[in-house]
Amino acid sequence: MLIDQNGEAPAGAGVASARVEARDVDWLSRYREVRGETERRASFLSPEDQQVQSMPDASPTKWHRAHVSWFFEQFLLGPRVPSYRTYDERFAFLFNSYYVAAGPRHARFARGLVTRPNADEVTRYRAHVDAAVDALLRGQSDDPEVAAIMEIGLNHEQQHQELMLTDILHAFAQNPTLPAYDPSWRPPAFARGSGWADLDKGIRRIGHDGDGFSFDNEGLAHDALILETRIAKALVTNREWQGFMEDRGYERAELWLVDGFATAQKEGWEAPGYWRRVDGRWMVMTLGGLKAVDPDAPVCHVSHYEADAFARWSGKVLPSEFEWEVAARAGDLDDAFGTVWQWTRSPYVAYPGYRPLEGTLGEYNGKFMANQMVLRGSSLATPDGHSRLTYRNFFYPQQRWQFTGLRLADDRS
C-alpha cells in the first residue's frame, strides 16, 4: 500500500526493519520494475485526471508520482551523491508529505490546487531522479546503507501505487459521467467458501521475526495470548450485507458505537461506499466503471464503524489482529490477500518493545499510533509482492474510500 493512513502512503507504513543483504538483490532491476509500475498505473489517466483531488484524505496522482521521487532525492541522492543537483528547489516544499525534520511543506488539503508543475513536468522530474539513481546503483549497489534506503523507498512507492487507485476511484465516483479508470478492469477471483477455523487457547508468537523486509510497526515479535475462538474462513459478502441493510441495520442505533452511528447519520450512509440505486437496482462504482453489485462478491468500501455494526447484527465480533495472523499463518483464511483489507477490532498501537528510529525517517510511522484501527491482509489494489502475514494497515474508523471489507469471529470461551 500502504499505506500512512493520512493520505501519504497506503497501508501500514513504517520505517524499514529489514535485514537486507545487498549482494542478494539486483537493485537496479527492482528499482526499474517498481518505478515502471507507478507509470503503468498512471498511464490510464489524462493530465486532468492526474490533477484532481476529490477530498482532503486523497491526493492527486501527479502528487503521488512526484512525492515518491522526492523521497529518493531527499533520503538517497542528496545525502550520498555529492555531485547530484536537485531538479527544482521548490519541489521539496510541494512534495514533502509530513516529514517535519525535512522542512516545511505545502498543506495536504490543497495539493489539488497546485496545477504547476504539470504532469509532463513531473514525468521529467521522475526521469531526472531515475537517471541519478541508475548511476548510483551502478557504482554502489553493494553498499548496505544504499540497499536499506532502496528497500524502504521501493516499498514506500508501492504503498503510493495503491493510493493512486483508491484516490482516483474516489475522484471518478464524484464525476456525474462515472468514468472508468480502466474499462477492461475485472475484479479478482474470490473464494465462495464457508465454515470456521477454530483457534485454541494458547500463547502464540506474533509479529515480524526479523527475517526479510518489514516496516517497524510489525515488530517486535512477541508472545500474545489467544483465547479459544473461531474465525470465518470466508469474507462477508454483498449478499450478507444486503441482509443487514434490509433489516434496517443503518438505522438501528443499538448496533452501533455512538461515534459510528453519529457519523452514519451525518454522512447519510445507507449502503457501502460507492453503492447507488439505479432504476431500483444496486450498482457500485469500480475501477472498471459502474457495475451491478455482485451478491456473491466480498463487500468492499465499508468503514470500521460499519464493520463493527454488521458484526453485532450477526451476533459475532470482528477478529483481533492477533487472531487473524494466527489463522492466516495456518492457511485457514480464504482471500486473506489480494481482495480487500480486513478490519480487525484491534486499535493501532505499538507492540511491546517498539521504538521509532531516530532521525527524519523515524517520523514515518510511530507518530500515527492513535485513534486508528488495524486492518490485515491486502487488497486488489496492493502491488504484487507487497503483502505478508505481519503487515499492519491502519485507518481511522470512519474512513471507507479504501478497498476495505471484513470477516467475522465468534468467541467460544
Distance CA 411, CA 323 (A): 11
d(CA 398, CA 305): 6
Task: Write the pLDDT tens digit of every residue in 180-234.
Answer: 999 999 999 999 888 999 999 999 999 998 888 899 899 899 999 999 999 999 9
Contact indicator for 396, 5 with CB cutoff of 8 Å: yes
Q: Does residue 20 have a pLDDT over 80?
A: no
Lowest average pLDDT, out of 204-208, 352-356, 386-390, goes to: 352-356
Q: How many Å apart are CA 49 and CA 46, to the nearest integer?
A: 5
Cα(62)–Cα(48) distance, integer angstroms = 10
Smallest Cα–Cα separation from 234: which of 39, 52, 407, 17? 407
Report field, pTM of the whole predicted structure over 0.85: yes
- Residue 284: beta bridge partners? 275, 291
Distance CA 396, CA 5 (A): 8
Helix residue ranges per DSSP H, 268-303 = none
CA 113 to the chain's CA centroid: 24
State the virtual CA torsion across 55, 335, 307, 204 in degrees, nearest 10: -110
The closest alpha carbon to 98, from 62, 67, 76, 125, belongs to 67
The answer to whether 40 and 92 have CB atoms below 8 angstroms apart is no
With CA atoms as reference, report the closest residue to 213 among 17, 12, 13, 10: 17
First to last CA, the chain: 35
Chain mean position to CA 157:
12
Write down the number of H helices and E strands in the chain. 11, 12
**Predicted confidence band at 339 (pLDDT cuts at 50, 70, 90)?**
very high
- Predicted pLDDT at 33: 97
Prior bond of 56 cis (ω within 30°): no
pLDDT in tens, 277-292: 999 999 999 999 999 9
Q: Is the pLDDT of residue 12 over 70?
A: no
Binned at pLDDT 50, 70 and 90, residue 369 comes out as: confident
Q: Average per-residue pLDDT in the chain? A: 91
Amino acid letter, residue 240? E
Q: Which of 40-44, 91-95, 209-213, 275-279 has the lowest mean pLDDT?
A: 209-213
Please tell me the total number of residues recorded for the chain in this structure. 413
Q: E strands within 142-274?
A: 196-199, 202-206, 222-226, 229-232
Rg over alpha carbons for the chain, rounded to the nearest Å, is 21
8-17, 144-153, 161-170, 181-190: lowest mean pLDDT where? 8-17
> How many other C-beta atoms can be found within 10 angstroms of the C-beta atom of residue 197?
21
> 298-334: per-residue pLDDT in tens?
999 999 999 999 999 999 999 999 999 999 999 999 9
Is residue 305 a contact partner of residue 404, using CB atoms and an 8 Å limit?
no
The answer to whether 400 and 380 are in contact (CB under 8 A) is no
38, 113, 160, 263 from 34: Cα distances, Å? 7, 28, 11, 38
If residue 247 lies in a helix (H) or strand (E), which one and from where to where? none
